[in-house]
Chain A
Amino acid sequence: MSKRHLLALYGNFEEAEAVVQELRNATIKGFDVNDDMIVKSPIEHPEVERFLGDKPVYVQWFTLVGALLGGILGFSLISGAQANFYMQLKGGKPIVPFPPNFVLTYEMFILGGVFITILGFLICAGLPAKRSPLYSTKVSVDNIAILVEADESAISELKAIFTKHKALEIQEEAGK
């Protein structure tokens, strides 16, 4: 069965929350509240995360791996390069001196951490992303949007819920 998208705009968060609660409680065939609903908001709302329930974030694991890799790579590459320094001996210092290498390792640790965190962010947040089928520029002003994807059959039911909660605007994907 073909799927269609539906987007509803709300002026404030209480309304949006009420909609999400209702969608949660209602059992609609062909619509899974966890997978098929996306909430778009103009600002970072801790509330949104609260009413959507716990969803895991994995970015910090990228950070851990990146920072450790950066540090280890930094230290071993630098010390390894220095070990070739027999002809570049510095009087008064060993060929592989630790204090400078720790400084550089520290920098590489942070560099790796930051870069891989960004990579993790892009992967976890799915960026760069194609624009979703329905989008309203009002989201970037002050509206909160709820985008749902559901089977043809469920659309009317969803629409009814949106209208009940006084959606400012409902956009519908043209049928295929």
Chain B
Amino acid sequence: MSVSNLLENWAQVRHEHPNNDKPHDPYKWAMAIDLDACTGCNACSIACYAENNIPVVGKERFQHGQQMHWMRVERYWDEDGREFPDQGFQFLPMMCQQCEAAPCETVCPVAATNHTADGLNSQIYNRCIGSRYCSANCPFKVRYFNWYDYPTDEMVWPAEMQQQMNPDVSVRSKGVMEKCTFCVQRLSAAKVKAKGEGRIVAEGEVQTACQQACPTSAISFGNLVNPDSRVHKQWAAQQVELDKDKQAKNEEEEASELRGYRILEELRAYPSVMYLERVRESAV
């Protein structure tokens, strides 16, 4: 009976995550992106399209803003009145931040998006009814909706292209929401393999598609719980803590020299992606 279950596990059902909670164990997938290394080449975005069977919607749909790029490379200009504004060009690869307390999760009416045990923000396509509330409440706007039936009606993958699709990733039909999964199909495969061998996934054993494709290694990805992982070392070096909405280093009187930051941290979504600020000419 569910009510007795409720009473028995009272403490467990009342705990909050990520504050007042034990950290994820043994996995917490996280990322660090070095904007200084990013050249804006869009290889990550292309790799993501290929890996995750993302439909290429075509010019017209793109103009309507109905594009599906899970990983998008944004461009920003410095507005300091310099002679060549292009010199102040900056790139920011943006994808789902896999928030620890994701605003999208609480608002989904059918619980199609949830927090997983290894710290991902999952999306269940079969469960989604397409209310689009998750996207409305996403501060980063990294969720993409299938406005049309791309695989069938729109024929974005002609017959000869279907051979190159990734068999590990389902193709989404119209009316469901989708977003970056941190290449969850690779993560599960690695986890299953490691479990069979009685160990946990080691550093470097699994890579996301974007990380793999990045020519400058701007993206590092791994298990934040594992102290040997590059991502853990980067987060530690930059003194960015996962379950804080204000980092201690920023509270000090003297401005921190460290480059690590998370986007819109003050919204208390606790994103799992840390960005390393670009070293600006003006700052050098």
Contacts and interface: CB of A to CB of B under 8 A. Distances in A.
B74 to A, nearest CB: 25
Interface in A71-103: 76, 79-85, 87-96
- Looking at B13, B14, B16, the one whose CB has the most chain A CB atoms below 10 A away is B13
Which 3 A-B pairs rank lowest in CB-CB distance, beginning with the nearest?
Answer: A92-B101, A80-B2, A83-B6
B12 A95 contact: yes
Please report whether the interface of chain A is mostly helix, strand, loop or mixed according to DSSP.
loop
Given A79-B3, A92-B106, A92-B270, 4 more contacts: A92-B16, A92-B102, A93-B17, A93-B101
A90 B114 contact: yes
Interface residues of A, number: 18
Contacts of A84: 2, 5
A80 B99 CA distance: 27
Nearest to B9: A83
Contacts of B115: 89-91
B268 interface: yes
**Interface range, B side:** 20 to 34
B18 interface: yes
A91 B6 contact: no
B5 A83 contact: yes
7 contacts: A76-B3, A80-B2, A83-B13, A87-B114, A92-B270, A95-B14, A95-B15
A16 B242 CA distance: 82
Contact of B102 (A76, A83, A91, A96): A91
A84 B17 CA distance: 17
A84 B8 CA distance: 12
Contact of A94 (B13, B18, B99, B116): B13
Please report whether the interface of chain B is mostly helix, strand, loop or mixed according to DSSP.
loop
Nearest to B15: A94
Interface of B: 1-3, 5-6, 9, 12-18, 99-102, 105-106, 111, 114-116, 121, 268-270
A89 B270 CA distance: 15
Contacts, number: 69
A84 B9 CA distance: 10
A93 B13 contact: no
Nearest to B18: A91
Contacts of B1: 80
A89 B114 contact: yes
A95 B18 CA distance: 12
B223 to A, nearest CB: 18
Given A82-B13, A83-B13, A87-B114, A92 B18 contact: yes
Contacts of A92: 16-18, 100-102, 105-106, 268-270
Nearest to B112: A88
Contacts of A76: 3, 6
A79 B101 contact: no
Contacts of A85: 13, 111
A76 B5 CA distance: 11
A97 to B, nearest CB: 9
A91 B270 contact: yes
Nearest to B4: A80
Contact of A96 (B14, B17, B101, B105): B14
A91 B100 contact: yes
Contact of A88 (B12, B99, B114): B114
B13 A90 contact: no
A90 B105 contact: yes
Contacts of B270: 91-92
Contacts of B102: 90-92
